[in-house]
Structure 1
Amino acid sequence: MKNDKISSSSDQRESGRQQVISAIRKAEQIARIDIASQTGFSPATVTSITSELLNAGLIEEVAASEQRDTKRGRPRVALKIRGDSHFVAGIKVANTSATVALMNFEGQTIAESEIPLPSSQLSGPEMVSFIRKALEDTLEDTELSIEKLSGLGLGVAGIIDAPRGFVYWSPSMTERNVPLRDLIEADIPLPVFIDNDANLVAKAEQLFGMGKSYSDFIVVTIEHGVGMGIVIDGQIYRGTRGCGAEFGHTKVHLNGALCRCGQRGCLEAYVADYALMREAEIMGSGGNEELSENRLAQLFTDAKSGDSLAQSIFHRAGTMFAMGLANIVNIFDPELIILSGERMQFDYLYADDVIETMKKSVVQIDAPLPQVKIHKWGDLMWAKGAAAFAMEGVTELAIREITHNAV
C-alpha cells in the first residue's frame, strides 16, 4: 500500500521534494516509477514533484540506461541531477595546508588544488582571507568565478556547531568561539556551510565511498588528530552542542598524556602523529613532536626494521586505539566501521593484532562483529565531502525557494 500522505502544507511538500531529489541523487539515474517505489509516494505525486524540479532546472530527463519500454520498444525516460544547475566548492583545512575541490551539482570534480597555510593557526579574519585566496587560486584556471558558485562547504577540525557555522574550538584557529560562517559570508557572497572535518569525511563516504550502500555506519579518521563521523539512518549525528562524535577526545587514561585540546588522557594524545613524535622524543628516538611527515615515516620504518623503542611507541598507540574501537562497538554496535585518512598509509592502527584486541574487548554474542574496512585517501576526498555538504545546503535552499514560489 502506498504511503502517500503528502498534504498541501508547505512543510510536507518541501519534505517530499527533498526525498525525491535525494532518491535521484543516490540512484544517479532513475525512472519515475522507481522513485515512487522507493519513496512510497504515488506516481501522480512523483510526477508533480519532478515537474517542479525540472522547471527549477535542478534535474533533467535522460534515456534510462539498459531499460526499455517493452510496449513501445524505446528507451525508458529516467531522471538525473542536472550537473550545470549549480557549482559548489569544498575546502578542507588541515594542519599545514588546505585542499579545495570544485564540483558541479552532479558531484563531478571540475578543479582541485592544495594551498599551503601561512600558519598552522589563524585568527578569524586571517582564516577568511586565506579561504578567499584559496578559492580565487583554484578558480583561476576555470571558466567560473566566485560569483558563479552557489555555495561553499568548509571542513575544519575541532568542535563545530554546524547549523550556526560556529567554531567553539579548532586546532587550526588562534581563538575560541568564532562565528566563522558569518565572517566568511560578510566577505564572500556565498552561502557557507561549515562542519567538523570528520563529519564531512563521513558525508564523502556516504555519497562517493564505502558507505554508499549503508544507512548506518561510523567513520574514524586519523590525521594530525583523531575524528569520528557517525551516520544513523542516513543522517550525520552531531549531538546537541556539535561535539557528539569527538572520538579523539574520549578518555582512555585518567590524568594521562596532555592533548592539544587542553585536557589529559584523550585517545588522540596517544595515537595522533604529534603524540607519536612526543613519545619518540621522550624515549630518545629522535627530534620533537613537530617533526615532519618524513620523520614519522622514518619512525615507522624503524619499527618495521626491528627497532624496539619505535616498536613500543606504535604498540602502545595500537593498544589504545583498539580500546577506543571496542568502545565504539559496545556503544553503537554499527554494521560497518571505516578507518579513513592519510595516516592509513601506516598500518599500526589497523594491524591484525589491533583488530583482534578490539574484538576481544567487545561484548561477545553469537552474531557477526562489525566489519572494519580501510580507506586510504588524502585530503581531496575530505574536500569533496565539504563540497557534498555544500550541495546538500544548496539543494535545501533551492527547494525552499520552490516551496515559497508555490505558495
Structure 2
Amino acid sequence: MARSGRLSPSGDQRESGRQQILDVIRAAESIARIDIAKATGVSPATVTAITAELLAAGLIEEVAPESSSEARRGRPRVALKIRGGAHLIAGLKVSHHVISTVITDFVGEELASHEMPLAQGRMPVPVLCSQIRRALELTCQKGGFTIDDLSGVGLGLAGMIDAERSFIYWSSSLEERNVPFGEAIARELPCPVFLDNDANLVAKAEHLFGEGRTCDNFIVITIEHGVGMGIVIDGKIYRGTRGCGAEFGHTKVHLEGALCQCGQRGCLEAYVGDYALLREANISSGSERHRTLASLFQAAEKGDAMALSILDRARRMFAMGLANVVNIFDPTKIILAGARLSFDHLYSGKVIGEMRQWVVQVDAPLPEVIVHDWGDLMWAKGAAAYGIEEVTARTVKELANAAA
C-alpha cells in the first residue's frame, strides 16, 4: 500500500501551505489567523483563503472569542482549531501477548481503548490480519461506532519494516519474511493502514506526549520480548534508507554468540530480551524451571547464583550497548521506555554508571538518561498520532487535487 507521506519541499506551494497551516493550528490548539500568518510567514490574505478551504472541508472550526474588555475595544479575533469530529483514527500496537488499541478523534483525544490477549506470539499473515481486525472491532464497540467509521489506522509491530512501502522484512509477530503487509491488511480493513516499527511509534509518542516534548534530538530504547530503538533527529523520526535503521537490538555484541530470534547470532537482543533470559535460565538449569521473568527475578532476589549471573551479563551487555549509542549519536537525552520497567536490572544506576565508563570522555555533560514507565496503550497512542499525521497529509492532497 503506497503512502502519501509528508509533503516534499518541491510539492505544490498551495498544498504545502495547507499542510503548514494545519500543523500550526494543531500545535497551538487554537490560534487566530493573524498569528498563523506570523508563525508561517504566509501572507494574511493567503491564510484567509486557505483557512476558508479548511473550514469548508470540515477539518478546522472557529472558536468564539472571549468576552473581555480588551476584545470589546476593537474587532474580536476569532481563533481556529482542529475539528475533532473530522476523522476517527485508530492506533494499534501488536506485542507478543496482546494487541493494544486506542481510538481518538482528529485532535487526538482518546475515545476508546482495549487490550485483546493473543493466544500465540507468532502467526501467519492472514491470522494476524484477522486478529488486528478483531481488536479494532472490539474497541469500536466500546466507543459506540463501527470499523467503517475509521478514517485511518496507525499500526506498530516489532521488526524490520519499510514504513514507506508498508513492507515487513522480518517481524517477531509473523511466521513469514518479506511480506507486503500493507496489501494483506488492506484486504481486511476498509480504511488506510499506516505501518511502522513499534519503537518508532514510541519515539513519536514521547515527542508528542512524553519526555521528548521539549527536545528535538533524542533516542528511545524499549525492552520487551525484544529490544527496540526510535531515533528523533531535528524533530523527525529517522528510519534509514531501507526503513531498517535504528535496529539497536540487532547490533552485534558477541562474535558467533547466542542465537537471536532474527536468525543471526551475537545480537544484543539475544542476551537482553525476555525470551533470551528465559532461554538461558532453562538451558543452564537443564529443565524448564522458569516460565516467566517474574520467576527468574524472584530466584535472583533469593540469591540464586545462576539467576544472578544471567541478569548481570544482561546488565553489562545493555550498558555496553548504551555506551555505543552515545558514542555514535551523542543525543541530548536517552529515554528508556516500556512496560518491563518493574524489572530494574537494565534500568539501575549501576547500568548507567557502567555506560558512563565506556563512553568516550570529553569535557562536556553526558546525555541525560530518563526512565519512563508506561504500558502498551502509550505505544498505541503513538500509533494513533502517526495515523493522524498521515490522514492529514492525505486529506490535504485530496483538497489540492479537487482544487486543481
Pair 1:310–1:21, CA change in 2 (3 A): same
Letter aligned with residue 315 of structure 1: D
Matched with 1:25 is 26
Residue of structure 2 in register with 1:370 after alignment: 367
Say whether residues 1:341 and 2:342 are aligned partners: no
* Number of the residue aligned with 1:393: 390
Q: Which residue of 2 aligns with 1:325?
A: 322
1:191 alignment counterpart: 192
Aligned residues: 395
State the AA in 2 paired with 1:338. Answer: I
One-letter identity of the residue aligned with 1:337: I
Q: Distance in 1 between matches of 2:68 and 2:180?
A: 50
CA contact (8 A) 1:89 1:100 kept: yes
The answer to whether the aligner puts 1:353 opposite 2:350 as a matched pair is yes
Distance 1:85 1:59 in 2: 8
| C-alpha distance in 2 between matches for 1:44 and 1:182 | 42
- SS of alignment partner, residue 331 of structure 1: helix
> Identity over aligned residues, as a percent?
61
Moved more, 348-357 or 56-65: 56-65
Q: Which residue matches 1:52?
A: 53
Deviation, structure 1 residue 36: 3.2
Q: Does 1:312 align with 2:296?
A: no
| Deviation at residue 286 of structure 1 after TM alignment | 6.8
Do the aligned residues in 2 keep the contact of 1:99 with 1:379 (CA within 8 Å)? yes
Q: Over aligned residue pairs, what C-alpha RMSD do you find?
A: 2.2
Partner in structure 1 of residue 379 of structure 2: 382
Distance 2:393 2:370 in 1: 32
Pairs within 5 Å for 1:3-402: 11-63=12-64, 69=70, 72=73, 76-284=77-285, 287=288, 291-292=291-292, 296-402=293-399
Relative to the length of structure 2, the TM-score reads 0.92
Change (3 A) 1:71 1:326: farther
Task: Give 1:63 deviation, angstroms.
Answer: 4.7
Letter in 2 for 1:299: L
* Partner Cα separation in structure 1 for residue 72 and residue 141 of structure 2: 51
Give the stretch that moved more between structures: 385-394 or 44-53. 44-53
Letter in structure 1 aligned against 2:394? L
Q: Which amino acid in structure 2 is aligned with residue 197 of structure 1? A: D
Consecutive unaligned residues of structure 1, counting only runs of 5 or more, are 1-8
Tell me which amino acid in the other structure corresponds to 1:185. A
Give CA deviations for 1:183-211 in whole Å, capped at 9, x if unaligned.
Answer: 11123211111111111111111222111
1:399–1:299 CA distance, 2 compared to 1 (3 A): same
SS in 2 for 1:195: strand
| Structure 2 residue runs without a partner (length 5+) | 1-9
TM value normalised by structure 1 = 0.91
Distance 2:102 2:14 in 1: 32
The CA deviation at 1:87 is 0.2
